[in-house]
Chain A
Amino acid sequence: MKRAAFGHIGFPILLLLPQLVIIAIFFYWPAAYAVQSSFYAQDMFGFTSTFVGLENYTRLAGATNYVNALNFTVIFTVLVTFFSLTIALLLAVKADKVIRGAKTYRTLLMWVYAIAPPVAGLIGVMLFDQSRGNLTQFLASFGYEFRLGVNYWDTASAMIAVSVWKQIPVNFIFFLSGLQAIPRSVREAALIDNRSGTSRFWDITFPLLAPTGFFLLIINITYSLFDTFGIIDTLVKSEPGNNPLTLVYRVYVDGFRGGDLGGSSAQSVVLMILVLILTIVQFRFLERRIHYT
């Protein structure tokens, strides 16, 4: 709040009203409803619901397909985050270094940001298609039979590849702006002290990039958990079957395909807690950054 702030009462309330009404109806109500229905079980037709306590949660812990989805989500998140961060960091370091064509490279490396996840997924479907995918044929020339939608790990690899491809631009943009924010004086001082490019990168550049990297780590985990829905849905062609699925996709499958409101809500609540933990970690860190930089 500003020192010389206005003293009106009615006007600011009027200004806040649209936002508050929208979040009350479309955020707090659904969120509360999710928590509530996670403690109830509905009959097949959705007419009656009975209070079952924590049964929906204990059922989750015992359900093989949920545990599978949990395991896959962890692997998926780790791999997507790792590959998209390292590839983007490499490209950003190079793009920061070159003088000729710097702007062209920046454009060429970031424009994929604008492509929708399901469109990226469709490209993946066409590249990895079992009978006519170009990459499938390429792999076949090495004697490997890539079977999208049939072989669990083949499908998983395609999902990871497309998700990494789609995420590189965001990481690239943040890394590049982080690199460009490193003061010239620091770079020059480092250059005098240390002639080896490699050790200069690890001793100077990398620690200075750490705040950006940590922020991106959270962004990438959130991306892998939630924003990859469109990629996964297109790559499994909306037919979950025995394909690898992430937790968010399970919420959707159990809720909308299986009609299991209680189970799906319990999964939502588990995810909410997960995101909450991530955010708390992020904020503890952000506070630290304000102190030290």
Chain B
Amino acid sequence: MADITDTNVHTTTSATTRRPKRIRWDHIGDHAVLIAGALLMLVPVYMVFATSSWDAITVHREGMQFGFGDQLVENYNAALLEYGGFTDSVNGLTMLGNSLILGLGFAIGKIIVGMMAAYAIVYFRLKFATLAFWMIFTTLLLPLEVRILPSYEVISWMNLGNTYTGLIVPLIASATATFFFRQFFRSIPEELIEAARIDGAGPVKFFIDILVPLSKTMIAAMFIIMFVFGWNQYLWPTLITTDESLFTLVRGIRQIVQSYADGSETPDYGQAAALAIIAMTPPVLIVVFFQNWFVKGLTESDK
């Protein structure tokens, strides 16, 4: 951080006086640091992608590859459609479907439940609203990882193991979305509800016709963050789904790693890399394409 220099001053002077261009070493330095950072992020994933186009034996002998091989289509085909590659009864497509169900179910469930609760807390004169808020808010304190074994026991008692309900609903039991929407609702001007009430709008009409349209951006931001969070869940799906037909892609990664660990036969590295690429593509695309909403949602949540 040693060379934070005067970008603004220099750009303006050079623009007005048109002096001959000097080489701006500090600018080059800035770009060099940023390019190094970008490469640090890109190269490992690029290598996985390149490796996903090679046959298992080459990778087994030489490690991950920089160039492209000729097995690209075959590997992705096998990773998506072949049964019994890493697991016996699922293929990549089933896992992709399960990941989508988990990501969408989690995001939509959390937004609906959270918005409803936040609406009740902010817009109603309710005696126990504060108590309810603190009860909900406390859940922010203890992540699922901390209470993992008792949560698992509760799910077993309720016979919810190996069900989508058991997979998704316990993950919703934290108040991030509720808290987020509460903050947002509180920032909406008071006059809005006053005007709506003068016009005779009831609570349902106010919510659907005014609050939901106003919250569109917030909902989008929350959706992206929650979808990525749900899609990327690992520990909970690992415990709850022992039935392979319910495996998500991220859960399937564990299978790959274990076939690595066994070492009895050459694991299909190319296919493993292909599956890793398939597992990361949807959330990465969402974050990249909707990055303005995503960044807004992420940074607003700390206020």
Contacts and interface: CB of A to CB of B under 8 A. Distances in A.
A275 B150 contact: no
B8 A188 contact: yes
A2 to B, nearest CB: 6
B234 to A, nearest CB: 4
A137 B235 CA distance: 31
Interface in B98-154: 112-114, 116-117, 119-126, 129, 132, 135-136, 139-143, 145-154
Residue with the greatest number of chain B CB neighbours at <10 A, chosen from A90, A91, A113: A113
A5 B207 CA distance: 12
Nearest to B2: A198
Contact of A23 (B5, B136, B149): B136
Contact of B34 (A9, A26, A98, A129): A98
A5 B193 contact: yes
Nearest to B170: A26
B63 A2 contact: no
A204 to B, nearest CB: 10
A268 interface: yes
Nearest to A104: B38
Interface string A218-240: 00001000100110011001110
Given A30-B147, A226-B146, A233 B254 contact: yes
Interface string B173-208: 111001000000000001001100100000110100
| Residues of A in contact with B, size category | 35 or more
B256 interface: yes
Given A132-B61, A191-B9, A275-B143, A6 B150 contact: no
B246 to A, nearest CB: 17
A186 interface: no
Q: Is the interface of B mostly helix, strand, loop or mixed?
A: helix
A272 interface: yes
Interface residues of B, number: 108
Given A2-B190, A6-B125, A23-B136, A94 B30 contact: yes
B274 to A, nearest CB: 12
A140 to B, nearest CB: 11
B241 to A, nearest CB: 14
Contact of B203 (A8, A106, A121, A195): A8
B146 A20 contact: no
Central interface residue in A1, A87, A99, by most chain B CB within 10 Å? A1
A34 interface: yes
B194 to A, nearest CB: 5
A1 B125 CA distance: 7
B232 A117 contact: yes
A38 to B, nearest CB: 10
Interface stretch (A11-19, A50-58, A150-158): A11-19
Nearest to A25: B154
Interface string B14-50: 0000000000000100110110011011101101100
B13 interface: no
Nearest to A11: B203
A177 interface: yes
Nearest to A276: B141
Contacts of B11: 99
Given A6-B124, A117-B234, A126-B64, A111 B284 contact: yes
A270 B5 CA distance: 47
Contacts of A37: 150
B174 A27 contact: yes
Interface string A74-114: 00000000000001011101110111010001111111111
B295 interface: yes
A70 interface: no
A115 interface: yes
Contacts of B150: 29-31, 33-34, 37, 265, 268
Nearest to A274: B146
B8 A237 contact: no
Interface string B256-293: 11101100000001001100100110011011100100
A134 B46 CA distance: 13
Given A97-B4, A98-B34, A229 B120 contact: no
Nearest to B178: A19
B44 A123 contact: yes
B286 A114 contact: yes
Contacts of A60: none
A23 B151 CA distance: 11
Contact of A197 (B6, B37, B51): B6
A279 interface: yes
A269 to B, nearest CB: 9
19 contacts: A1-B126, A2-B193, A16-B117, A19-B136, A30-B154, A89-B1, A105-B38, A108-B41, A110-B295, A113-B228, A122-B272, A126-B64, A165-B44, A230-B235, A234-B253, A234-B257, A238-B257, A256-B239, A268-B150
